[in-house]
């Protein structure tokens, strides 16, 4: 098993920016959101089960998931949200595990937005990295990126684990409330520490083998 850094953070915190920077240093990046999008794209492996569970109303014209409709349904109906998670989460975990095990980089960055809610991922990780920023920054970034209105973004934030819950899991924290150069410098420092930790894990495994 490679050295795994599990990366999490709330919506709009900058998880993708951090994982992209770590990937640029040579880490293997396995992003559960990217996996979820692939599973629910046109022809995606999850679409038959989702259509069977929720009807063709959740499929867009191209055959992929109508994300806006599914998001509204899941927010308004806790039962629908549980059914959605019961379909998607095992498929996401299986594909994430496959990608992690196939990685050949010095270490893997496993991006899991809902880490607080998922014991399965926490049991895999060697180190947990939380990307943090004030909620006001999260809201503004998400509105700018997604086009959602403030009320909808605030509802998404309310449905996620709290900032305090995420920080309670952290081994490392990157505060992403400044410019990209500041973020890049913080990521570069962490990358060096992860390289050292990954090398130490590999040495222990070699001696044990």
For the stretch 133-177, pLDDT in tens is: 999 999 999 999 888 899 889 988 888 888 999 999 999 999 999
pLDDT at 152: 86
> What's the CA gap between 73 and 1, in Å, rounded?
38
pLDDT at 108: 98
pLDDT at 147: 87
- Quick one: tokens of 49? 């089960």
pLDDT at 86: 94
Other CB atoms within a 10 A radius of the CB of residue 72 amount to 13
pLDDT at 116: 87
Q: Are 25 and 121 in contact (CB under 8 A)?
A: no
pLDDT at 182: 95
pLDDT at 120: 82
Q: What angle do CA 30, 33, 34 make, to 5 degrees?
A: 65
pTM over 0.85: yes
Residue 190 banded pLDDT, cuts 50, 70, 90: very high
Q: Read off the pLDDT of residues 40-97 as tens digits, 9 standing for 90 and up.
A: 999 999 999 999 999 988 999 999 999 989 988 888 888 999 999 999 999 999 999 9
Contacts of 61 (CB under 8 A, 6+ apart): none
| Cα dist from 77 to 10, 25, 80, 82, 94, whole Å | 22, 42, 5, 9, 26
| Cα dist from 108 to 39, 89, 102, 188, 195, whole Å | 21, 20, 10, 15, 10
111 pLDDT above the threshold of 90: yes
Of 127, 95, 83, the closest CA to residue 109 belongs to 127
Q: What are phi and psi of 7, to 5 degrees?
A: -110, 130
For the chain, where do the domains classified as CATH 3.40.50.300 start and end?
A: 1-27+106-204
Q: CATH for 1-27+106-204? A: 3.40.50.300
Q: Read off the pLDDT of residues 26-46 as tens digits, 9 standing for 90 and up.
A: 999 999 999 999 999 999 999
pLDDT at 209: 66
Q: Strand pairing partners for 189?
A: none
């Amino acid at each position: 098993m490679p050295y795994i850094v599990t990366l999490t953070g709330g919506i709009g915190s900058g998880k993708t920016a951090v994982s992209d920077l770590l990937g640029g240093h040579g880490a293997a990046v396995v992003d559960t959101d990217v996996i979820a999008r692939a599973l629910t794209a046109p022809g995606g492996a999850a679409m038959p089960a989702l259509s069977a569970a929720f009807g063709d109303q959740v499929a867009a014209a191209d055959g992929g998931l109508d994300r806006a409709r599914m998001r509204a349904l899941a927010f308004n109906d806790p039962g629908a949200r549980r059914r959605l998670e019961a379909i998607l989460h095992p498929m996401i975990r299986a594909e994430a595990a496959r990608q992690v095990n196939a990685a050949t980089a010095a270490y893997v960055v496993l991006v899991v937005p809902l880490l607080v809610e998922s014991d399965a991922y926490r049991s895999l990780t060697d180190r947990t990295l939380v990307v943090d920023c004030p909620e006001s920054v999260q809201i503004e970034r998400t509105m700018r990126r997604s086009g959602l209105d403030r009320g909808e973004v605030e509802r998404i934030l309310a449905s996620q684990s709290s900032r305090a819950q995420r920080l309670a899991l952290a081994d490392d924290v990157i505060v992403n409330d400044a410019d990209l150069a500041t973020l890049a410098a913080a990521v570069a420092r962490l990358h060096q520490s992860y390289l050292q930790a990954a090398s130490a894990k590999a040495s222990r495994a070699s001696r044990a083998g």
